[in-house]
Structure formats: C-alpha cells, structure tokens
Amino acid sequence: MCESPGLPVGQTEMTQKRKNKRLPEPLARKHRARKRLVQALYQMHYNDESVSSVINQFVEEQDFKKVDMAFFEKALRYIAANRTALEALIDPHLGREKASLGAVEYAVLLVAAYELSQSIETPFKVVINEAVILTTEFGAEGGHSFVNGVLKQVAGQTRPNELGV
C-alpha cells in the first residue's frame, strides 16, 4: 500500500479524500431523512404505533433541523399505507423466509422500494447505494450484500428503462 506522508498509518490519499468528501446539503438532508425512516420503521415493527404518533415522537425527540422533513413524512406515510404493495415488490426476491430477516434490513428494503417505485427523480444507483450504506451502519454483518442483491432485482421491475432492461 502506498502511504502518503502526513496521513495516519494505513491511510492513502484516496481514503483521505473519501473521508473528506461531503454530500451537498440537500443530499445530506435526504440521507438523514432515510436514516430516520429506517429508525421509525424499526420502531413501528416492534411497537403498535400510528404513523402520526411516531412522526410526533421523532420530531419532539430528535433534531430535524438538518433533515428533509417533507421527504421523511411523505415516505413514512406512504410506506405505512402501501406496505402490502411494497412487500409485493420485495418479497419475491428474498430467496428465504421473510421471518428470517432482521427488522433493520427489512426496514431498509421498504424505504428503498418506496424510492424505487415512487421517487423516480432519484437514480436507482443512488437508492441502492443509500440502502447499502444504511444496512452497513445499522444492520447485521453482511446484510448489505443481501440488501444490494434484492434491490437490484426490485430496480429491474420498477426501473426497467433506467437499467436498460
């Protein structure tokens, strides 16, 4: 490995640039909203709470100043109201029993399925990349590979023109 002077041991200029690279604020706000969505869906998985009560709780307890609140609220309401349709996009591609999946991985899949089917303005590669990042951060070890594989298949269904299928 080619290390550069002045950088910590084991760090190359390329990894230093990646660490310093910041998302433009509108994209960072949406990324933070996706994180909150995964947390909210996880909470709703284990607690029988309404969407409105979860939104109110999150707004009261978390800092939403740098979060795309409109995206968070719209997505959470859509996912709750259309969960069966989103599951119909996801479940055929799981390759295993849904009950064997972690709640985090399934929450990430729901958020991504929502975006792949309803947020056409966001490129499918961005949706999948965000899902992989969230699964790496919150999910089980190795869960990101599974999520990536499922979402590539979902993208083939929801975005055939974008994939060139």
Question: Domains in the chain, start-ordered, CATH in brackets?
Answer: 25-163 (1.10.940.10)
Q: For 75-103, what is each residue's pLDDT tens digit?
A: 999 999 999 999 999 999 999 888 889 99
Length of the chain: 165
Q: Is the pLDDT of residue 14 over 60?
A: no
Following DSSP, what letter does each residue of 106-165 receive, concatenated? HHHHHHHHHHHHH-TTS-HHHHHHHHHHHHHHHS-TTHHHHHHHHHHHHHHHH-HHHHT-
Report the pLDDT value the prediction gives residue 9, as an integer from 0 to 100. 53
- In the predicted model, is pLDDT for residue 18 greater than 60? no
Give residue-wise pLDDT tens across range 122-151: 999 999 999 999 999 999 898 999 999 999
Is there a contact between 135 and 96 (Cβ–Cβ < 8 Å)? Answer: no
